Every structure is written in C-alpha cells, then in structure tokens.
C-alpha cells in the first residue's frame, strides 16, 4: 500500500512539473502588465511603450504599459514586489528607483535586492544639461564661470532629493568646484515645466524627453553626459570634452519580476527581451531618441545593481546628503 501511495505521489509530482514546464513554454497566454514608476511622456515611459509594442508582436499577446507614478517610484516598485510571481506583472524602471532613492528612505516597503528579481537591461541613455532660454547660459564654461563668481546664484531642478538627477548634479558640482542651488520637485515633469517657464535655470534630463522642446526652442542644450557626442544632437558637446574628462551622466533601464518567480520563467522572459532589444526596429526607434539599446543576462543585471548600490552609498555618505 505504501508503495502504491509513493508511486501516486511521484505521478502527481510529474504531472505538476509537466504542467509548469508547459505553462512556461506557452508564456504568455494572456496580457502582461509592464508597470513603470512615472507618468506618460518621460524617458522610461517612452522606452516602455516601444518595448511593449515589440514584445506584443513577439508574444502574440498584449504587453500593456501601466503608469504608477508617485512616492519617488516606490508605489510602482512595491506593486510589482507584492504581485503574483507568475510573469504577468513586471517592473520596467531606471536605475534611480532601484539604487538612488532607497538610500534616502528609512522605511522602504520593499527591498530591491530581495523582493525583486532582475530579468535584464533594455537600454542606456545619457542625461543632458538643459537651460531655459532666459537664463542666458549657452555653454558649460559660462555656467561654471557664473557659479564661481556668485555661489548659489544659479538654481537647478531635479525630480527629488536623492534622485539620480540630484546625485549627478552633486557629483558635477564637486568636480567643477562650484555651488549651485538645488530645487527639488516631486517628479521630472513638473521640474521640466518650471525650467521651460524660466522659474528655474537648469536641469539634467533624458535626451528623449528634451528633444521635442529643444527643437521648439523652449530649452537650450548645454552639454551631454555621454563620453561621445550624440548623432541626434551632434553640435552639443559632452561634459567630458567641455573641460571635465571622464565625467559621465548615464542612466539605464531594466525589467524586474516579483520575488519567487520561477528561474525558468525569468530565463524565458530574459531571452524574449534579448530578441527584442537586439532587433533592428527597437534599436532604430531608440537611436532616434538619443537612447541606446542594451541587453544583459539576469545575473549581469544583478551584479550591476550590486556594484552601483555600493558606489552610490559611498557617494551619498561622502556628500553628506540627507532627505530632510
């Protein structure tokens, strides 16, 4: 009798394993939500929509972008961390939400490294320093000269204390030996609106977000954070060539799943991301927006997160920045 019971358990386990394997092979069999931590129109939203379009074609199922802005990205990240680990709710975000913001939050509702599972990177893009036309700042030399002559006389906007924008400005001020006045906002969109309205002089912004306003003359491009000039704005110099060799202001975006997601499913989705991000249509769509396609294994993305977390923690400590 015990022998029969054992064989029955083995048979049921095998059926469960086969069904699980089949589910992964058939993934997805209904729409997948790509949750992002920002509102429509920003850099992450733009990339997410391009990615969703190509994933929908590949999967034969809709990949739906779900904007959940607020709380410096924590609302979206927490929603995914608490979601069912079935692959149908994924987070696409920039490195700031995963690395920068947690350095300043005492009561995080989730842990980047234990509650979210990296799947793969999808793009990388440089930040661009932009100024409002009324500021009369046309290049980095003018900015630094004015700032040195009159410390704290130039305002810069960011999408919040501890954000990637904020930390990048802090790093640049240290490099250039200047002091600017920080004006934090609750998001990049209202910050950008006030820069264009001449309420604030400067900000770092993603190329894809800034391009339409540069073309309309509402923003003046000052310097780009990549080490090489960009084809979409070839006349704009890099920060490095403007007198600060080696200085980079780069952001990247990746996709993550809730903890507990099957490693086999993570591998399947990662492979699908690789197919899309290496596709000609996706690459071309991003290049037109000053963004470069990137791909990685889950392991490589996890390693990058760990490395950047340590680097950012050291920077925050050295700058003595607080959320107050």
**Tokens 């034969």 label which residue?**
60
Which H or E element spans position 182? strand 181-184
Q: What is the pLDDT, as a whole number, of residue 100?
A: 85
Q: In this structure, are 120 and 172 located in the same domain? A: no
Q: In this structure, are 207 and 197 located in the same domain? A: yes
Q: In this structure, are 80 and 145 located in the same domain? A: no
Q: Is residue 285 part of a domain?
A: yes
Q: What is the pLDDT, as a whole number, of residue 151?
A: 96
Question: What's the token pair of residue 107?
Answer: 């009561």
Question: Distances in Å between the alpha carbon of 223 and those of 243, 249, 295?
Answer: 11, 10, 26
Q: Is residue 67 part of a domain?
A: yes
Question: What's the token pair of residue 291?
Answer: 């963004």
Q: Is residue 239 part of a domain?
A: no
**Domain closes at, from 209, 224, 239:** 224
Q: What is the pLDDT, as a whole number, of residue 3?
A: 55
Q: Is residue 206 part of a domain?
A: yes
For the chain, what is the domain count?
2
Q: How far apart are CA 10 and CA 27, in angstroms?
A: 26
Q: What is the pLDDT, as a whole number, of residue 10?
A: 45
Task: Please report which confidence band the pLDDT of residue 163 belongs to, taking 50, 70 and 90 as the band edges.
Answer: confident
Contact by Cβ (8 Å): 282, 50: yes
Question: Distances in Å between the alpha carbon of 215 and those of 13, 211, 239?
Answer: 61, 6, 21
Nearest to 72 by CA among 108, 47, 45, 40: 108
Q: What is the pLDDT, as a whole number, of residue 322?
A: 63
**In whole numbers, what is the pLDDT of the chain averaged over residues?**
89
Q: In this structure, are 204 and 307 located in the same domain? A: no
Q: What is the pLDDT, as a whole number, of residue 13?
A: 46
Count of Cβ atoms closer than 10 Å to residue 93 Cβ: 22
Query: What number is the average pLDDT over the span 250-267?
Result: 96
Q: Is residue 48 part of a domain?
A: yes
Q: In this structure, are 11 and 120 located in the same domain? A: yes
Chain centre distance of CA 258: 17
Nearest to 203 by CA among 291, 108, 135, 285: 135
Q: What percent of the chain has pLDDT over 90?
A: 71
Task: Please report which confidence band the pLDDT of residue 131 belongs to, taking 50, 70 and 90 as the band edges.
Answer: very high
Q: What percent of the chain has pLDDT over 70?
A: 92
Chain centre distance of CA 222: 22
For 79, half-sphere exposure in the C-beta direction (CA atoms, 13 angstrom radius) is 21
Q: In this structure, are 8 and 94 located in the same domain? A: yes
Q: How far apart are CA 12 and CA 8, in angstroms?
A: 6
Nearest to 126 by CA among 41, 249, 236: 249
Tell me the pLDDT tens digit for each residue of 2-60. Answer: 455 444 444 444 444 444 455 788 899 999 999 999 888 888 999 999 999 999 999 99
Task: Please report which confidence band the pLDDT of residue 272 belongs to, taking 50, 70 and 90 as the band edges.
Answer: very high
Q: Is residue 175 part of a domain?
A: yes
Q: In this structure, are 214 and 289 located in the same domain? A: no
Q: In this structure, are 217 and 265 located in the same domain? A: no
CATH number at residue 17: 3.40.190.150
Regarding predicted confidence, which is higher, 287 or 14?
287
Q: In this structure, are 144 and 70 located in the same domain? A: no
Q: In this structure, are 119 and 145 located in the same domain? A: no
CATH number at residue 153: 3.40.190.10
Domain that holds residue 66: 2-124+252-319
Q: In this structure, are 120 and 133 located in the same domain? A: no
Q: What is the pLDDT, as a whole number, of residue 12?
A: 45
Let me know if 63 is exposed, middle or buried by CB neighbors in 10 A (0-12, 13-18, 19+).
buried
Tell me the pLDDT tens digit for each residue of 80-108. Answer: 999 999 999 999 999 988 998 788 777 88
Q: Return the minimum-mean-pLDDT range out of 118-132, 150-164, 292-306.
A: 150-164
Q: Is residue 246 part of a domain?
A: no
Q: In this structure, are 266 and 185 located in the same domain? A: no
Question: What's the token pair of residue 63?
Answer: 């990949």
Q: What is the pLDDT, as a whole number, of residue 18?
A: 43
Q: Is residue 91 part of a domain?
A: yes
């Amino acid at each position: 009798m015990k022998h029969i019971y054992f064989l029955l358990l083995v048979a049921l386990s095998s059926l469960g394993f086969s069904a699980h394997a089949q589910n992964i092979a058939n993934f997805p069999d209904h729409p997948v939500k790509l949750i992002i931590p920002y509102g429509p129109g920003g850099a992450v939203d733009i990339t997410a929509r391009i990615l969703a379009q190509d994933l929908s074609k590949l999967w034969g199922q809709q990949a739906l972008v779900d904007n959940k802005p607020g709380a410096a990205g924590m609302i979206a990240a927490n929603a995914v961390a608490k979601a069912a680990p079935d692959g149908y709710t994924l987070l696409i975000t920039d490195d700031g939400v995963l690395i920068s913001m947690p350095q300043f939050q005492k009561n995080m509702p989730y842990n980047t490294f234990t509650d979210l599972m990296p799947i793969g990177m999808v793009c990388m893009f440089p930040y661009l320093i932009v100024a409002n036309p009324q500021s009369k700042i046309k290049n980095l030399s003018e900015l630094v000269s004015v700032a040195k002559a009159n410390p704290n006389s130039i305002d810069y906007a960011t999408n919040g204390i501890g954000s990637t924008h904020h930390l990048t400005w802090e790093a640049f001020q240290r490099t250039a030996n200047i002091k600017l006045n920080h004006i934090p906002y609750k998001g990049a969109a209202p910050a950008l609106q006030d820069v264009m309205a001449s309420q604030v002089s400067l900000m770092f912004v993603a190329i894809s977000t800034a391009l339409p306003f540069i073309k309309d003359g509402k923003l003046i491009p000052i310097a780009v954070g990549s080490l090489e000039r960009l084809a979409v704005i070839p006349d704009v110099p890099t920060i490095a060539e403007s007198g600060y060799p080696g200085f980079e202001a780069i952001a990247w975006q990746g996709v993550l799943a809730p903890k507990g997601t099957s490693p086999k499913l993570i591998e399947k989705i990662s492979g699908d991301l690789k197919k899309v991000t290496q596709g000609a249509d996706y690459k071309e769509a991003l290049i037109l927006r000053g963004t470069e396609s990137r791909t990685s294994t889950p392991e490589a993305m996890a390693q990058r997160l760990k490395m950047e977390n340590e680097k950012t923690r050291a920077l925050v400590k050295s700058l003595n920045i607080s959320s107050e």
